[in-house]
Amino acid sequence: MILISPRGGNGSKYNFVETHMITIGTRKSKLAMWQTEMVAGSLHEHGMATRIHSLETIGDRILDTSIAKIGSKGVFTAELEEQLAGGATDIAVHSAKDMQSQLPEGFVLIAFTAREKVNDVLLGTDLSIDIADAGRPLVVGTSSVRRRAFLRHFYPHVKIVEMRGNLQTRIRKMQEGHCDALILAYAGVTRMGYDRMIIKEFATEQFVPPVGQGCIAIEAASTLAPEKMAKIRRCLNNRTSEICLLAERAFLKKLDGGCSIPAFGYAVLEGDELTLAAGLASLDGTKILRVTEKGSAEDPVELGVRAGEKILDGGGRQMLEEIRCAQAL
């Protein structure tokens, strides 16, 4: 069939003849749509036409309840997976940090894009804020149990308030006075053009990022035509990102973790050597378990599993039990 780029018009640089249309599923937020448009653009550059189908997930609709209370598995992905399973979409675009460590049967991650800077940042309108100043009252908004734990550990004087919603909603709530500043991922902040509001960039050695932060993951049903799956993967997959994310996700899977536990993992590839800094914090931030493991890029999963086993054996099992008991109350 003859297809025209979504930009439209015969003058588009994406005019081409193609036998397959790639239908992409995504959440409706501005950030999710930005990421999806980026993926679509890469597919266009490789001669594939696309259309985008957006929807709201349960995590987008329920904003007055913490993710831990909603349930950490599939909060931002279940509805998109229903579309994949039914054949309404070919692939789904996700922030990799939102993906559960164990996908439901019948689904696979087929690509990981090049990774943005992974740091957490403090965002606000008052650039004079110093989070280390214990003499200045400060209210920080976040929905992340990991960020809460790190704040309580490193900056116990800071008051923390729950802040759910997309980036624009959180910024609006901050401007309305619900908090003085927000902690967010650098990737989302810069993609949405809010760089000017960054007060502080936290070092990854201090605020170790969550598994997958800064990376976009492409999910498909395992029944997707092999030829189409391979073509999409060749176009979108970044080898370095994939190796790092396989290690990080194997670590999280070993902990049977998701968005509701304060786990963290960040892998870096240098040549053929892979280094994974990972761990787990208590909800109150008083205890933080950390390991740094090195291994071969040829077996990133083994590295992640090994790091997970060390955390579990070093007190992680008891900590996880305490976390889940506290969240069940």
Residue 66 pLDDT: 47
Pick the CATH number of 238-329 from 3.30.160.40, 3.20.20.30, 3.40.1160.10, 3.30.2130.10: 3.30.160.40
**Residue 119's CB: how many other CB atoms inside 10 A?**
21
Residue 11 pLDDT: 34
Per CATH, the architecture of 1-113+214-237 is what? 3-Layer(aba) Sandwich (3.40)
Residue 51 pLDDT: 96
- Of 90, 98, 120, 180, catalytic: 98
Q: Where in the chain is the domain with CATH 3.30.160.40?
A: 238-329
Residue 74 pLDDT: 52
Residue 58 pLDDT: 55
Residue 15 pLDDT: 39
Residue 211 pLDDT: 97
What are residue 281's phi and psi, to 5 degrees? -115, 155
Could you give the C-alpha distances from 121 to 187, 240, 301, in angstroms and in order?
A: 9, 24, 29
Element housing 26 (H / E): strand 21-27
Q: Where in the chain is the domain with CATH 3.40.190.10?
A: 1-113+214-237, 120-201
Burial class (CB in 10 A: 0-12, 13-18, 19+), 151: buried
With a cut of 70, list the residues of the chain below it in pLDDT. Answer: 1-20, 56-76
The yes-or-no answer on residue 272 being catalytic is no
Residue 6 pLDDT: 42
Per-residue pLDDT tens for 165-178? 899 999 999 999 99
> Does CATH number 3.40.190.10 belong to domain 120-201?
yes
Q: What is the pTM of this model?
A: 0.88
Distance (Å, whole) CA 252 – CA 33: 27
